[in-house]
A and B are shown apart, each in its own frame.
Chain A
Amino acid sequence: MGFEDIIPLLNSSVRFAVPLLLACIAGLYSERSGIVDIGLEGKMLGAAFAAAAVAALTGNVWYGMLAAIFVSCCMSMIHAIASINLRGNQVISGVALNFLALGGTVFIGHSIFKRGGTTPNLPKDVRIGPIELPFAAEIGQVPFVGPIYEQLISGHSIIVYFAFAAVPITAWVLMKTRLGLRLRAVGENPKALDTAGISVFKLRYQALIITGILCGVAGAYLSTSQGANFSENMTAGRGFIALAALIFAKWKPWNALWTCLLFGVLSAAQIRLQGVEFPLIGEVPVQFIQALPYVLTVVLLAGFIGRAIPPKAVGQPYVKER
């Protein structure tokens, strides 16, 4: 495999990594605030449908984006009501939201478009297209650095740049701002915050709104930027890989970036390694590479390579003392 093969591989890795990264950062806000989110998958799916459907109906992809964020936030708020106000089981609420999205998207999609759950193909101008960074063609002539700039860094959709920008922003918010300090605290020791007169409920709601927005963008990316329409269950477990990535990243934003890129490379490599013979081990089954992110996460969780320690209060509903 030469240099010119590596750039397309990395390029497709980036494309695979972006929805994971967005969902992973989304989950980070939620879990850091103490709310388990199994429903990342469902929120992304609902958002992907909303984006494709509204873009197809209005002919404007940005309305689609708004609809995606709206739907994802609504689902996040259902999760919030169940887990914050009603102190319900957060895992079950997530499972329910996943099912709701799976059934609801096809139900509504079939009713509107009569295509058995898929939405019509979006023409090129009703999709979120690639952006050429300045001087891409010129710098592309420079050996080595040029192709990296022209092919790998330039030419992605705005969502890709947004996803990568979300990492330092999240790191900054979490570590350098008052909101971030409080978010981390509410996930570790909500009672301390409550005692200090800060509303645990409000903070967790804020976190879940951010989760909703990011999942919405992730969904819109899948159906209006990476793809050109919505199809049944198009997230295909990405929300769960994002959850695995979140744990693998030990709930830290920069780690999330590296983990999602690693999982992205695994996804991209899986397609390219099909039928490739390796010296000594021979052909690696595709399914093995498919399972690798999950296996790695299990191994990490079990503490065989480092330790992943979740926020202390995660999953426990907060009961205010009277």
Chain B
Amino acid sequence: MSGARQPLPSWALNVLMPAMNVLLALFVGGLAVALIGENPIEAMRVLAYGAFGSGYGLGFTLHYATSLTFTGLAVAVAYHSGLFNIGGEGQAYVAGLGAIMMALWLDQTHWVFVLVGSIVGAMTLGALWAAIPGYLQAKRGSHIVITTIMFNFIASAFMSYMLAQVITNPGANAETRTIAETGRIPLLSEYFEFFKHSPVNIMLIFGILALIGVYILLWRTKLGFKIRTLGQNPEAARYAGISAVSIIVIAMAISGALAGMMAVNEAVSVQKRLVVGYVQGFGFIGIAVAFMGRAHPVGIVLAAILFGALYQGGVELAFVMPAVPSELVLVIQALVILFSGAMDEMFKPVLERVFGAFRSKPRTDDSTATEEA
């Protein structure tokens, strides 16, 4: 083996490896396109053009990216405290109830009240729905992954009951009534012609604020320090007098509140009502966003844009190249999750050797080393 395996510099770990994972996923996706007899390069071009080629497309991409930023940050905050919150899907769904109830209550006033009210409603219910599994983990030792999966299904049953029986709009099929004209949160296209009726809205700004907020919370506050300590070394946290129970519950509540923000971006601002199953997998894709983004806000925003672009590009792809099913996007997303989340170690040894060989060359002229390489 050529010299030692060099520990990777942080840029290789945090930029190069995720990039390689994405490229590999796109490559495999391209292979799948080639296998069904279509032109993979053309498909990727359509995908990219659909996502970034027009103000309209970009507006959709940014809208999806905003939702994914929230669900991605949700996974990241929990992850830093050592918990794997797989329940973003259910938390965002239940949060939709809080958001829409506030919005429908306030929609005769002004959209600013609707905005603030629905954010509060969404964050409260999202936090509550996540804090229960957190509490059960911290106090009763039930595994958070399983509990949050179960909570996703309970949320789904609960919400379809609520939408069909309780806050339903008579005449419509399991959805709430639509928010009145006066209370509708404006789309960015009302201020910037460029976005042409695409759904990107004011929540984009809140997405950016959430990114900054999470950065400050995790790396600049006492609470964030406690969260990260608990996540990295629970034993040390205990000796330092950090209460694991309260930190776990708080971290999960923050996580759920963040996931809940998606409700305001999608249900309140764009669909203007709550429909059954509105989350549509965005909670799960948040896991991919968090892992590709290395649980850091900078990474998360890039990953969210990537995944948002895949969604929007996929729609365009189905339109332009009908022979290529838009599920291609799901496949690529799955591969990104697999490569960047579970098969992280695939490139690492190779890269470490490459870096090792690169660095040891000027120093050692060991002929055996080059031979073995």
Chain A residues close to B by CB (< 8 Å):
36, 38, 78, 81-83, 86-93, 95-100, 102-104, 106-107, 110-111, 117, 237, 240, 243-244, 247, 285, 287-288, 290-291, 294-295, 297-298, 301-304, 310
Q: Are A301 and B334 in contact (CB under 8 A)?
A: no
Q: Which of B44-52, B108-116, B343-351 has 4 or more CB atoms under 8 Å from chain A?
A: B343-351
Contact with A along B310-346 (1 / 0, CB 8 A): 0000000000000101011111011101100111111
Q: Given that A100-B335, A301-B146 are contacting pairs, would A91 and B86 also be in contact in the complex, using a CB cutoff of 8 Å?
A: yes
Q: In the complex where A92-B291, A100-B331, A110-B327 touch, is A301 in contact with B147 (Cβ < 8 A)?
A: yes
Contacts of B180 in A (CB 8 A): none
Minimum CB–CB distance from A43 to chain B (whole Å) comes to: 13
Q: Is the CB of B342 within 8 A of A298?
A: no
- If A96-B335, A97-B334 are given as contacts, then 8 extra A-B residue pairs at C-beta distance below 8 Å, sorted by A number, are A89-B342, A96-B337, A99-B331, A103-B330, A285-B161, A294-B154, A298-B154, A301-B143
Q: Evaluate contact between A240 and B333: CB separation under 8 angstroms.
A: no
Say how far A40's CB is from chain B's closest CB, in angstroms.
11
Determine, out of B134-142, B222-230, B267-275, the stretch whose residues face the partner at the interface: B134-142
Q: Determine the distance from Cα of A288 to Cα of B161 in the docked complex, in whole angstroms.
A: 8
Give how many A-B residue pairs fall within 8 Å (CB-CB): 144
Give chain A residues whose Cβ lies under 8 Å from the Cβ of B141.
303
A154 to B206 alpha-carbon distance, docked (Å): 61
Smallest CB gap from B349: residue in A: A86
State the Cβ distance, A266 to closest chain B Cβ, in Å.
Answer: 12
Which chain A positions have C-beta within 8 A of B338?
78, 82, 92-93, 96-97, 100
Say whether B343 contacts A91, CB under 8 Å.
Answer: no
Q: Name the B residues within 8 Å of A91 (CB-CB).
A: 84, 86, 145
Would you call B284 an interface residue if the criterion is a C-beta within 8 Å of the partner chain's C-beta atoms?
A: yes
Query: Do residues A82 and B153 form an inter-chain contact, with CB atoms below 8 A?
Result: no
Query: Would you list 27 pairs from A and B whose C-beta atoms are within 8 A, ordered by A residue?
Result: A81-B343, A88-B344, A88-B345, A92-B337, A92-B338, A92-B341, A93-B341, A95-B287, A96-B338, A96-B341, A97-B334, A99-B330, A102-B334, A106-B327, A107-B327, A107-B328, A117-B325, A237-B153, A243-B146, A243-B149, A288-B157, A288-B161, A297-B146, A298-B150, A298-B154, A301-B136, A301-B146
| Residues of the B chain whose Cβ atoms lie less than 8 Å from the Cβ of A36 | 145
Contact A294–B153 (Cβ < 8 Å): yes
CB contact between B287 and one of A78, A87, A92, A106 (< 8 Å): that residue:
A92
The answer to whether A83 touches B342, judged by C-beta atoms less than 8 angstroms apart, is yes
User: Is the pair B142, A290 in contact by a Cβ cutoff of 8 Å?
Assistant: no
Contact between chains at A82 and B149 (CB < 8 Å): no
Question: Smallest CB-CB separation from A82: which chain B residue?
Answer: B342
CB distance from A119 to the nearest CB of B (A): 14
CB–CB B334/A240 < 8 A: no
Q: Which of A93, A111, A298 contacts B136 (CB 8 A)?
A: A298
Residues of A within 8 A of B344 (CB): 86, 88
How far, in angstroms, from A261 to B153 measured CA to CA in the complex? Answer: 20
A107 neighbours in B (Cβ, 8 Å): 32, 325, 327-328, 330-331
